[in-house]
């Protein structure tokens, strides 16, 4: 039978996993403002895919993956830091143009390259993986464990729904602000976003090297 409690629990977990403002959220906001709804939502889809993959591993109890990430946390963190630095520099130096309305299928498909970009950013963040495993551990304890594969499926369906709603809502909200933009404001947004991503990357690399 469908367990609404588990679905709602998973829904809340999806929001909890997606909502913290980190590099992927910043990148999503920047892409939405500069390139439109579909560009921003593509970033969200990549994050959803990575979080869902990690969540499947967590709900199935694949502790080996968690152990592997813990063992190589420094190396993965360093790779993720350099990726963020690269994104930050690219965005900071970009010369933005006011976007036109993009409705042609070819232009919409052109934004799909954002999916693997945000997927890579998310999957190379050990904090995200270990955090999801910790959340699943806490929830499993609170609900008395997942008695069957159906229970696990309902948790995952709820999680996927919550994460998707977050990225849809965020992207739609930010897209509504595009009408107020000028190229000068877009450049400032790029510089702020690029600087945040760059500093986050430097922080990750520094942490992996010195701590």
Report yes or no on whether pTM surpasses 0.85.
Answer: no
So what's the pLDDT on residue 64?
A: 57
**Residue appearing with tokens 């369906």:** 157
**pLDDT > 90 fraction of the chain, expressed in percent and rounded:** 19
Q: Of residues 6 and 108, which shows the higher confidence score?
A: 6
- Which pLDDT score, from 0 to 100, does residue 60 have? 77
Amino acid 96: pLDDT? 66
Tens of pLDDT, residues 104-138: 444 657 788 889 989 988 888 777 777 787 777 77
Task: Choose between 68 and 60: higher pLDDT.
Answer: 60
Q: Which residues of 119-144 are buried (b: 16+ CB within 10 A; e: fewer)?
A: bebbbbbbebbbbbbebbeebbeeee
Q: How confident is the model at residue 49 (pLDDT cuts 50, 70, 90)?
A: very high
φ/ψ of 174, rounded to 5, equals: -70, -35
| Alpha carbons 12 and 42: distance in angstroms, whole number | 22
Q: What is the pLDDT of residues 133-161, one digit of tens each?
A: 777 777 766 666 666 778 888 889 999 99
Q: Please give the structure tokens belonging to residue 140.
A: 């499993």
Q: Mean pLDDT throughout 20-40?
A: 86
Assign 36 a pLDDT band (cuts: 50, 70, 90). Answer: confident
Q: Is 46's pLDDT higher than 90?
A: yes
In the numeric block, the tokens 């992207």 are attached to: 171
| Residue 113 CB burial class (10 angstroms; 0-12, 13-18, ≥19) | exposed
Q: Please state the separation of Cα 148 from the chain's center in Å.
A: 28
């Amino acid at each position: 039978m469908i367990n609404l409690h588990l679905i709602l629990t998973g829904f809340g977990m999806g929001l909890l996993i997606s909502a913290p403002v980190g590099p992927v959220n910043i990148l999503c906001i920047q892409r939405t403002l500069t390139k439109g709804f579909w560009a921003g939502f593509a970033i969200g889809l990549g994050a959803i895919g990575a979080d869902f993959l990690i969540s499947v591993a967590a709900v199935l109890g694949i502790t080996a993956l968690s152990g592997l990430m813990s063992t190589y946390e420094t190396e993965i963190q360093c790779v993720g830091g350099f990726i963020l630095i690269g994104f930050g520099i690219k965005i900071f130096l970009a010369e933005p143009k006011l976007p036109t309305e993009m409705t042609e299928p070819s232009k919409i498909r052109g934004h799909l390259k954002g999916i693997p970009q945000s997927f890579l950013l998310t999957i190379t963040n050990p904090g995200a993986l270990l955090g999801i495993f910790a959340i699943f551990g806490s929830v499993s304890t609170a609900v008395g464990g997942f008695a069957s594969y159906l229970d696990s499926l309902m948790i995952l369906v709820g999680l996927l729904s919550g994460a998707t709603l977050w990225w849809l809502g965020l992207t739609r909200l930010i897209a509504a602000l595009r009408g107020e933009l000028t190229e000068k404001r877009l450049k400032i947004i790029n510089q702020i976003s690029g600087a945040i991503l760059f500093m986050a990357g430097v922080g990750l690399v520094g942490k992996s090297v010195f701590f």
